[in-house]
Amino acid sequence: MRFSLQVGMCEPGHYLPMARAAEAAGFHGLAIPDSICYPQEASSRYPYNKDGSRAFLESVPFIESLVAVSAMAAVTETIRLATFVYKLAVRQAPVVAKQVQGIQALSGNRFDFGIGISPWEEDFAVCGVPWEKRGKRFDEQIELLRGLESGEFFGFQGEVLQMPANKMNPVTGVPTPLLVGGHADVALRRAARVGDGWMCAGADMQQLQAYIGRINQLREEYGTIDRPFRIFTTGQDAFTEAGIEKLESIGVTDVVIGFRNVYEMEADKSLDEKIGMLDWYAGEFIRG
């Protein structure tokens, strides 16, 4: 099992000290959430909490996730960094590809790119991107990311996106792991078909086991079952040895640990408290 510490939705001054502390404590990775903004009016329902409300996010600070990844990569040496997950579908894929290759070049290829669509129509409206055909757009964006990281001339003519042939420099020559987020069957299919892994935003053990079983079934169907594949989930079951063993037994490879329930509007802790908690966890379950 690999362990990542979630860093985000907190005071900006906490990011870099927590990154350094997590690396020193023995965590394998850092997981950074993503959010564009908080709309004044919204009709979309949030799919990952009980009541569908996003009120818990209204006053929560978010550093743009690729900015946060870059900053934390600069103050660490070995720990990996992952977005959990980046709302790719509302961004411009060629610009994102340039950012990702820059992160990889400067960090020594330590970035795992967790990507998703965004469940909120308002994100698309704010960014001036059509809500319609968002799934097709996302699929084509993945093709663009893969093509542009080759370092060769690459053009694209898709149903939604078009791009004249161009090449980017620098590229590292190492494919960036693409970890697909989402719980709908179409997201599981996408992860199984083109992803290097899947990221789960939250599920109980029974749900998680069902999702993983479905992904493995789809990987058999798509002929991708023999490729390396990582499965990330949040760590509500990873605070006991028995829970960690159960997660491993159903196929989880990476667990994301946090010490605050933002969904329930729990107040943020001090930096010293958080560093103390991550040190405690690493001593109990990682180094031990």
Top pLDDT among 153 and 268 is at 153
Q: What is the pLDDT of residues 237-283, one digit of tens each?
A: 999 999 999 999 999 999 999 998 776 778 899 999 999 999 999 99
CA–CA separation, 212 and 221 (whole Å): 14
> Taking the CA of residue 253 as centre, how many other CA atoms within 13 Å lie in the half-sphere pointing to its CB?
11
Mean pLDDT over the full length of the chain? 94
- pLDDT score recorded for residue 105: 98
pLDDT mean over 140-155: 98
- Note the pLDDT tens digit of each residue in 101-110: 999 999 999 9
228 DSSP β-pair partners: none
pLDDT category at 158 given cuts 50, 70, 90 is: very high
> Greater confidence, 190 or 62?
190
Band of residue 218 on the pLDDT scale cut at 50, 70, 90: very high
* pLDDT digits 0-9 by tens, 15-54: 999 999 999 999 999 999 999 888 777 676 666 666 666 6
Q: Return the pLDDT at 272.
A: 98
Residue 18: per-residue pLDDT:
98
* 140-156: average pLDDT: 98
**What pLDDT is recorded for position 236?**
85
Decide if pLDDT at 235 tops 80: yes
Q: What is the pLDDT of residue 81?
A: 98
Query: What's the whole-number mean pLDDT along residues 192-212?
Result: 96
* Whether residue 169 has pLDDT greater than 70: yes
The average pLDDT across 142-156 equals: 98
- pLDDT number for residue 43: 72
Q: What average pLDDT score do residues 138-155 get?
A: 98
Average of pLDDT values for 7-21? 96
pLDDT digits (tens, 9 = 90+) for 88-98: 999 999 999 99
Instruction: Give mean pLDDT, residues 188-214.
Output: 96
pLDDT value of position 200: 96
